[in-house]
Amino acid sequence: MVFNQPTKEFSFTVDLVAEMTVINPFDFFLEDYAEEFPFVYDAVTKAELSLYLKKRKPSKKFQELIESLQPKKPLRSVDFLVAVNQAIYDLVDYGIRLEPGVQTPNDTLTKQSGSCRDSAWLLVQLFRHLGLASRFVSGYLVQLTSDQKSLDDLALSRTRLY
């Protein structure tokens, strides 16, 4: 929008209809060779996925995490993915981080805290080090209720306390 002159008031209305659909995150198929983890990509697939297999050099702390999550025996791949996600969920506290950029996996592990993008990048690097092609995709958090009281709510509570 371009305005030719200053104005004392600016308002707009946005109408939005969002279709909310329940999706089963496990409604996908795996190639036969990938039913159990660990598995090895065939040469053609590995070449096609090479960008998503690039690893950053791990810190000592990150290397320890990688080693701790290596399964001792083959597991169903879906069970392995769920277990790794659960481990990161247990290890890293979610926090709203307004600073730009993404923390390194080591920073996230050291702080044991990060935004969704920090946890996602930690998982991407973790999966790549475990031999799984992974990529970072940005998304949106659907939040139906506020996780923090609004300033108006805080002002009301303070008023009630006095």
**Cβ atoms < 10 Å from Cβ of 35:** 13
**Annotated domain spans of the chain:** 33-133
- Residue 150 — pLDDT band, cuts 50, 70, 90? low
Residue with the larger pLDDT of the pair 49 and 99: 49
| CATH of the structural domain 33-133, one choice from 3.40.109.10, 3.40.980.10, 3.10.620.30, 1.10.1240.10 | 3.10.620.30
Which has the closest alpha carbon to 102: 125, 84, 81?
Answer: 125
Sign of CA dihedral 115, 116, 121, 124: positive
Comparison of pLDDT for 77 and 11, the residue scoring more: 77
Per-residue pLDDT reduced to its tens digit, 30-74: 999 999 999 999 999 999 999 999 999 999 999 999 999 999 999
Across 16-20, 31-35, 86-90, least confident range: 16-20
- The structure tokens listed for 129 are 């080090």
Q: What pLDDT, on a 0 to 100 scale, did the predictor assign at position 14?
A: 87
pLDDT band at 156 (very low <50, low <70, confident <90, very high): very low
Give the pTM: 0.72
Q: Is residue 18 within 8 Å of 91, Cβ to Cβ?
A: no
On average, the pLDDT of the chain sits at 86
3-state secondary structure 90-156: HHCEECCCCCCCCCCHHHHHHHCEECHHHHHHHHHHHHHHCCCCCCCCCCCCCCCCCCCCCHHHHHH
Asked whether residue 104 carries a pLDDT value surpassing 80, the answer given is yes
Q: How many helices (H) and strands (E) does the chain have?
A: 6, 4
Q: Tell me how far apart the alpha carbons of residues 54 and 44 are, in angstroms, rounded to a whole number.
A: 16
- Indicate the SS3 state at residue 37: strand
